[in-house]
């Protein structure tokens, strides 16, 4: 079973801002440095 680590509020704000700026999921993964599944859950 996988253990998921919750991201911080700061990361949530960063992900939200990058999404609003038009970046796609792959670009956000590279920028924030979290797992692709983390970004996927945010979308």
6-37 residue pLDDT tens: 678 888 899 999 999 999 999 999 998 888 88
Nearest CA-CA partner of 11 in 3, 19, 21: 19
The total number of structural domains that make up the chain: 1
Residue 2 is assigned to a structural domain of this protein: no
Helix-then-strand count for the chain, H and E: 3, 0
pLDDT at residue 19, as a whole number:
93
- Cα separation, 19 vs 2, in Å, equals 26
Residue 4 is assigned to a structural domain of this protein: no
Residue 13 is assigned to a structural domain of this protein: yes
Residue 36 is assigned to a structural domain of this protein: yes
> In terms of residue numbers, what domain contains 28?
9-42
Residue 14 is assigned to a structural domain of this protein: yes
- Cα separation, 17 vs 24, in Å, equals 12
Residue 1 is assigned to a structural domain of this protein: no
Residue 3 is assigned to a structural domain of this protein: no
């Amino acid at each position: 079973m996988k253990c998921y680590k919750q991201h911080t509020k700061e990361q949530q704000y960063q992900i939200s801002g990058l999404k609003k700026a038009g970046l796609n999921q792959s670009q956000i993964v590279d920028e924030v440095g979290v797992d692709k599944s983390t970004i996927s859950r945010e979308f």
